[in-house]
Amino acid sequence: MFDSLEEEARFWDTHDSGEFGAEFEPVDVEFANPLGHVFLLRLDADLLSRLHSAARQSDVDVSTFARGLLSKGLEEGSSESREPTGRGKQRAG
């Protein structure tokens, strides 16, 4: 239908998909790796504001950004817990 992506973009910039509703056909959609759980977390206003700012700077939505921070923190925390702490060692002397 279109000769280039630019031509298609120009078309949709000047047309509404509602004009073509009769031509649409229902399709089945499967979502890969659906997230099945919601976790409610209370944050103070300052922390929430900082979270939103950091997400904007990373150009992702705040939920995705927070999930990434949580995942990274848990990975770092579990790797630190496997490292020797130095407890129980005696000093030479």
Torsion of CA 13, 15, 17, 23, to 10 degrees: -130
* CB-based burial, 22-38: b 16+ in 10 Å, e otherwise: eeeeeeeeeeeeeeeee
Residue spans of the domains in the chain: they are 37-78
**CA atoms within 13 A of residue 39's CA, in its CB half-sphere:** 7
What pLDDT, in 10s, does the model give residues 12-64?
999 998 888 888 899 998 877 776 788 899 999 999 999 999 999 999 999 99
Higher pLDDT, 9 or 84: 9
Give residue 21's pLDDT.
86
Give residue 32's pLDDT.
78
pLDDT band at 67 (very low <50, low <70, confident <90, very high): very high
Give residue 91's pLDDT.
52
Please provide the CATH number assigned to the domain covering 37-78. 1.10.1220
